[in-house]
Amino acid sequence: MKEIIYRVEVNTKEQLEQAVKIDDFQFIYAPIRLLDGNTPDKFRIIAVPPVYLADCEEKCAKRLGELQSLGFEHGLAHTAGHVHLLKKAGFKVHGGFRLNITNSRAMEFYEEQGISDAVLSLELTMSLAKGIMHNAPVGLIAYGKLPLMITRRCPVKDGKPCNNGTYCGGKITDRKGNELEIICSNTCELLNPDRLILSDRQEDLSCFDFAVLKLAYEENVSEILDMYLESRKPEGRLTRGLYYRGVE
């Protein structure tokens, strides 16, 4: 079995501080709000801009330009628009799961746009994901509370939008008593209450060029990585996402 290469996507300052100390991570996806000149290991940081640029494109382009001159080289594209924005700022472009690459033609299209690698769509089954033709490396989201929806207004702060830079760190409870965590930036991302876990599916993960551990508010980064390195499946509720759903 091929060795699995891990990447991590951080959401908090503390997670970033821990992640840069772990050499196992090939790349660290980090929101641009957490990055500055003092961030170590810039060579393996992939700067993540906000998902929606409608109200902040100019500001974001300016910030990306600043980060590029500080020595950051890599950026994450959530959409085709981000590909353009990142290229213009001089970044190497990495495709995120939101590009929703579900077939080989989509992969080819983004390769033509110049992406250096891509995370495949969360909607693919494992066997379809394995069948995607690609020249650039492809990976999967292998861990995390996946987003259920993105809203413009924050359900915690009385419906007022959480502005860029303020993070309510909130959660809401659904009618079944499940706690849905929220990642707030200029949008609010409501997360699935159950974690996607594939730590015991090493054989499948090894078919891809890399596997991404996507963090929300986890406090211990190495604990999550160790679970994968040791192929341990945790107790309690978890989800397999759509990877093993339906007819393959």
Rule CB under 5 A: which residues touch Zn ion?
A: 154, 156, 162, 168, 184
- Shortest separation between residue 183's beta carbon and Zn ion, angstroms: 9
Assigned token pair, 91: 């970044």
CA distances to 7, 18, 140, 146, 215 from 192, in Å = 21, 24, 17, 5, 12
- Shortest separation between residue 157's beta carbon and Zn ion, angstroms: 5
CA angle, residues 69, 49, 144, in degrees to nearest 5: 130
- Shortest separation between residue 168's beta carbon and Zn ion, angstroms: 3
Q: Which residue's CB is nearer to Zn ion, number 50 or number 75?
A: 50
Q: Which residue's CB is nearer to Zn ion, number 192 or number 199?
A: 192
**Strand 188-191 to strand 147-151: parallel, antiparallel, or no bridges (unpaired)?**
antiparallel
Q: Which residue's CB is nearer to Zn ion, number 168 or number 229?
A: 168
- Shortest separation between residue 128's beta carbon and Zn ion, angstroms: 35
Question: Tokens 């996402």 sit at which residue?
Answer: 241
- Shortest separation between residue 169's beta carbon and Zn ion, angstroms: 8
Q: Give the Cα separation of 236 and 63 in Å (integer).
A: 41
Q: Give the Cα separation of 237 and 196 in Å (integer).
A: 9
Q: Give the Cα separation of 94 and 90 in Å (integer).
A: 13
Q: Which residue's CB is nearer to Zn ion, number 118 or number 184?
A: 184
Q: Which residue's CB is nearer to Zn ion, number 81 or number 169?
A: 169
